[in-house]
């Protein structure tokens, strides 16, 4: 392992940590929304005895050093490529200054909070569970029950403050101003009255790639189809080289083992023969019900295709509790609707997380406070530095607001200015995630709902400068001026098939589509690439993007037809090279495995 030389840390100016009585503390506004996000309105006062779990982020003063290490171990041209950091090394790099720890401890103690404080392994996150009345006192704010136009409820505030003595020692506190609506990126689900076999159908070819595919793949996508389309027929991974793959599950979406077995019988007979299944891990009280009536379409889609493609690679399904959540007339005792943050903290504490993990859930970027988005993105960087690849759906609204129907998209900013703007999703907009867009049919074309565009929060990372500038140069001057940020992190990075995946749910077959299909499928192929590297005595791929935009770019099928309409426009066009519809294109496993091993 390459030794870490931490930069010399300049001590913070000493500050008095003796807090006056809570009622006499002078507060400064830490975060404030100019207006509530669109669609949200105050429903009622929040009950004072309602309990809330506050997560307090302490600054990570040495994060830039971690980022430097991340790019060094992820750049295939760097001498340290693949020399991932250990869990302990990463934690050392994100640990807060002792002055911050002392200041926050003193502040909590001044409010009588000295026990039952949850602390992350690095000490950069603290968790406390307190009644709202105490939270309002500590943060000099007022919480309300907010209701969205579609019926969701949240307990939130539009601003909060901190005492001057602790102000610079806290990066953010949530849930406060986070009005995100974490949802699966699933555009469609169709019932199948009779499951048809995908085998022995006439073949069709693609002159550009030379691939030959069963014609049935244009109506029903199976494991066989994906292996044919992406040139992985005949590749056999191992169960014994230290490889692993994981899927995240949220919002009471449960993966069903009986459905998985039925899927394996139908599409992966070798897995069915040994009764293969996944390891279950509960996060924050997540449960594992196996009643077929509770089988989740999203969870089954993700697990069946990611694990089916990568079998027999050891697989894990994470069930994270936290259904959005607050129902005023039921008196929910705790507001637990930040499951993604709960999962991220848990997996960072895990000594050996899966080497590739796929997520098919997202928020609108503009609904996530900048401080929260940046801190979560920093968490993804920590996993990347440890050798974990993260894939995420790019979204199902084209350039729009997440609604796959362009006719019903509003595409209006929620900052109070009510401007029309292309709206992107998070976490796909984080530069440390590999965002996966969607294609359909064979030969492949971009699917209309493929989420793509440019972040308003994160600047464009250097690894994609050349590719994205090349795309922007193809746009006529003035194209969509003011509707997107040409200097923002651009996505998707890559794409894969995303329509008519044959999935078993509750004992029946369905066709499910969305970038929630393409992300786990792409993750399955990453697991195969990791298998090849591990067999060759090399480390896992880890954070993929610097590799994708350089050495591995030639291992993708360039998609040059289709577009992603939204916001009353035709969106962007798929074109030669990287584009904001399909990214670099879809994987050619046969080429990629030669490039990465």
Instruction: Indicate the annotated binding residues.
Output: 558-559, 577, 579
Instruction: Locate 472 and state its tokens.
Output: 């922007």
Q: Are strands 556-557 and 425-426 parallel, antiparallel or unpaired?
A: unpaired
Q: Which sign does the torsion angle of CA 41, 39, 188, 434 carry?
A: negative
Instruction: Locate 182 and state its tokens.
Output: 């974490």
**Which ranges constitute the DSSP H helices of 311-401?**
339-349, 370-385
Exactly one of 358, 495, 516, 540 is catalytic; name it.
516
Q: Is 252 exposed, middle or buried (0-12, 13-18, 19+ CB in 10 A)?
A: middle
Report d(CA 244, CA 527) in Å as an integer: 7
Report d(CA 120, CA 161) in Å as an integer: 23
- Computed over its alpha carbons, how large is the radius of gyration of the chain? 24
Length of the chain: 597
Answer for the pair 402, 411: CB distance below 8 angstroms, yes or no. no
Instruction: Locate 421 and state its tokens.
Output: 């703007």
Single out the residue of 475, 436, 500 nearest to residue 570, CA to CA. 475
Q: DSSP strand E in 250-370: where?
A: 279-283, 315-320, 334-335, 356-359, 361-364
Report d(CA 323, CA 309) in Å as an integer: 29
Q: Which sign does the torsion angle of CA 171, 173, 176, 180 carry?
A: positive
Single out the residue of 428, 586, 462 nearest to residue 74, CA to CA. 462
Exactly one of 298, 335, 396, 493 is catalytic; name it.
298
Answer for the pair 157, 33: CB distance below 8 angstroms, yes or no. no
Single out the residue of 350, 343, 300, 53 nearest to residue 189, CA to CA. 300
| CA–centroid distance for 62 within its chain | 24
Q: What residues contact 323, with CB distance under 8 A and at least 6 apart?
A: 251, 252, 337
Host H or E run for residue 456: strand 453-459
Answer for the pair 390, 452: CB distance below 8 angstroms, yes or no. no
Report d(CA 75, CA 78) in Å as an integer: 5
- Residue given tokens 């196996």 in the structure block: 290
Which residues share a beta bridge with 583? 579
* Three-state SS at 215: helix
Active site residue 99: no
Dihedral pair phi/psi, residue 437, rounded to 5°: -90, -170
Report d(CA 364, CA 396) in Å as an integer: 11
Exactly one of 75, 259, 266, 302 is catalytic; name it.
302
- Residue given tokens 């793509």 in the structure block: 452
Single out the residue of 150, 34, 151 nearest to residue 419, CA to CA. 34
Active site residue 302: yes
Answer for the pair 94, 122: CB distance below 8 angstroms, yes or no. yes
Report d(CA 392, CA 522) in Å as an integer: 10
Host H or E run for residue 244: none
Report d(CA 581, CA 577) in Å as an integer: 11
Residues catalogued as catalytic: 298, 302, 516
């Amino acid at each position: 392992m390459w030794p870490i030389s931490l930069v010399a840390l300049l001590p913070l100016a000493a500050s008095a940590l003796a807090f006056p009585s809570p009622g006499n503390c002078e507060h400064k506004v830490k975060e404030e929304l100019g207006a509530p996000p669109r669609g949200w309105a105050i429903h009622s006062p929040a009950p004072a005895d309602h309990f809330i779990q506050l997560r307090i982020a302490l600054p990570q003063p040495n994060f830039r050093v971690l980022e430097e290490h991340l790019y060094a171990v992820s750049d295939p041209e760097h001498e340290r490529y693949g020399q991932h950091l250990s869990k302990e090394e990463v934690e050392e790099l994100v640990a807060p200054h002792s002055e911050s720890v002392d200041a926050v401890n003193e502040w909590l103690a001044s409010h009588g909070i000295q026990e039952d404080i949850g602390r992350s392994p690095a000490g950069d996150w603290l968790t406390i569970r307190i009644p709202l009345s105490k939270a309002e006192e500590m943060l000099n704010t007022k919480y309300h029950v907010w209701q969205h136009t579609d019926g969701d409820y949240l307990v939130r505030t539009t601003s909060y403050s901190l005492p001057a003595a602790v102000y610079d020692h806290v990066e953010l506190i949530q849930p406060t101003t986070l009005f995100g609506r974490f949802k699966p990126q699933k555009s469609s689900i169709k019932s199948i009255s009779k499951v048809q076999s995908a085998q022995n159908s006439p073949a069709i070819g693609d002159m550009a790639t030379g691939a030959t595919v069963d014609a049935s793949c244009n109506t029903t996508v199976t494991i066989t189809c994906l292996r044919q389309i992406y040139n992985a027929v005949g590749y056999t991974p191992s169960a014994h080289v230290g490889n692993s793959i994981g899927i995240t599950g949220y919002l009471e979406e449960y993966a069903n083992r009986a459905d998985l077995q039925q899927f394996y019988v139908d599409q992966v007979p070798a897995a069915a023969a040994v009764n293969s299944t996944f390891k279950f891990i509960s996060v924050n009280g997540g449960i594992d019900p196996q009643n077929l009536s509770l089988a989740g379409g999203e969870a089954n889609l993700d697990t069946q295709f990611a694990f089916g493609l990568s079998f027999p690679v050891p697989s894990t399904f994470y069930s994270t509790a936290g259904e959005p959540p607050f129902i005023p007339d039921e008196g929910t005792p705790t507001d637990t609707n930040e499951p993604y943050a709960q999962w991220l903290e848990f997996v960072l504490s895990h000594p050996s997380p899966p080497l590739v993990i796929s997520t098919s859930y997202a928020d609108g970027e503009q609904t996530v406070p900048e401080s929260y988005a940046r801190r979560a993105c920093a968490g993804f960087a920590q996993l990347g530095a440890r050798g974990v690849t993260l894939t995420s759906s790019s979204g199902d609204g084209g350039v729009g607001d997440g609604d796959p129907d362009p006719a019903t998209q509003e595409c209006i900013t929620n900052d109070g200015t009510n401007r029309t703007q292309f709206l992107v999703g998070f976490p796909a907009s984080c530069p440390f995630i590999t965002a996966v867009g969607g294609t359909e049919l064979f030969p492949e074309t971009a699917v209309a709902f493929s989420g793509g565009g440019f972040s308003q929060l994160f600047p464009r990372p250097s690894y994609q400068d050349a590719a994205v500038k090349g795309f922007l140069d193809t746009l006529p001057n003035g194209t969509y001026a003011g509707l997107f940020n040409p200097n923002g992190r651009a996505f998707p990075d890559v794409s894969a098939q995303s329509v008519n995946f044959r999935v078993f749910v509750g004992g029946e077959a369905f066709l499910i589509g969305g970038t929630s299909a393409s992300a786990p499928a792409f993750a399955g192929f990453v697991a195969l690439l990791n298998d090849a590297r591990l067999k060759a005595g090399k480390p896992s791929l880890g954070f993929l993007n610097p590799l994708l935009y350089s050495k591995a770019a030639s291992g993708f099928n360039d998609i040059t037809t289709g577009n992603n309409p939204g916001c009353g426009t035709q969106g962007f066009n798929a074109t030669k090279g990287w584009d904001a519809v399909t990214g670099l294109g879809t994987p050619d496993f046969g080429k990629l495995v030669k490039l990465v091993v």
